[in-house]
Amino acid sequence: MHLEKSLPNIRELLNGSFPCGRVDRLGDKPIYRNLWAQTATQRFENEALCGLALDASHIEGNVLNLKVDLGIGASELDEWDLPEDVYKLQVLVIEKEQSGEEGHWQVSAYNEFAASPFYQRGNPIKDYVHRNVLVDILGEPTGDIVDIKNLSSGSKVSYNYQMDLSGCDSDLRFVAMVYIHNPSTADPTTRRNIVLNSQFVVLGSLQPFD
């Protein structure tokens, strides 16, 4: 499976040739691998401002009908209303494990580095297994805009996506994220993509609000 519609957008977001991440990132400095776990842990400790539930159990033939429910806690004082901003829902399709194909082997800079677990495994590594690989994005590549009226106290709205499973492996997972999208600020230090909540489900199962 290939990200035909999404590759240009993903390449535009990549930073150089080294893996790096964006978790509530401000400005243009990447968060490198040694800080991923720490940054993600900090985010998980924050209270989620919205709820997400995923249902990936409805499969008709080779077509998956994925349902994503977005909900906001009910309150008589409406203190759970989210403020005006640009909110997006993004749904990622993840394959648990994937190995390279002919012409797409894993390049290794550690073949001659004796302290590396990849020492003398070749360059490229033909049997390297990648884990949690992004294989597709449902909806718009950078996410579908969420109407602000669906982000008021007590609201609940469903978003439905279809995916052709022909040629797909059975180890697919789906990750949904709601985030504040503000990439056009002139000052890069105030640019932000703040994740409000995320949820995960395995193909053939469902994940309720938690």
Q: Which of 148, 142, 178 is nearest to 53 (CA)?
A: 178
> Does residue 149 surpass a pLDDT of 90?
no
* Strand residue runs (E) in the chain: 51-60, 63-71, 87-99, 129-138, 144-146, 156-164, 172-182, 192-202, 206-207
> Quick one: tokens of 81?
């209303």
Tell me how many degrees the CA angle 158-191-141 measures, rounded to the nearest 5. 40
The pLDDT tens digits of the residues spanning 90-140 come to 999 999 988 877 667 888 889 999 999 889 999 988 888 888 888 889 998
What pLDDT score does 133 carry?
Answer: 85
Q: What is the pTM of this model?
A: 0.77
User: Best-predicted range by mean pLDDT among 1-15, 26-40, 165-179, 182-196?
Assistant: 165-179
- Range 82-85, long-range pairs (CB < 8 A, 24+ positions): 82/49, 82/50, 82/148, 82/151, 82/152, 82/196, 84/148, 85/148, 85/180, 85/182
- 9 pLDDT above the threshold of 90: no
Phi/psi for 110 (5° steps) reads -115, 15
For 157-176, what is the mean pLDDT? 92
Give the CA dihedral 9, 15, 19, 20, nearest 10 degrees: -100
pLDDT tier, 86 (very low <50, low <70, confident <90, very high otherwise):
confident
31-40 per-position pLDDT tens digit: 677 777 887 7
Domains and CATH numbers, the chain: 7-99+129-207 (2.60.40.10)
When mean pLDDT is compared across 4-8, 124-128, 149-153, the lowest value belongs to 4-8
Bigger pLDDT: 10 or 65?
65
Which of these, 92, 128, 91, 125, lies nearest to 108 by C-alpha position? 125
97 with 170: CB under 8 angstroms?
Answer: no
Q: What distance in Å separates the CA atoms of residue 76 and residue 176, rounded to the nearest whole number?
A: 28
Measure Cα distances from 207 to 1, 176, 203 in Å: 25, 11, 11
Tokens of 72: 């906001």
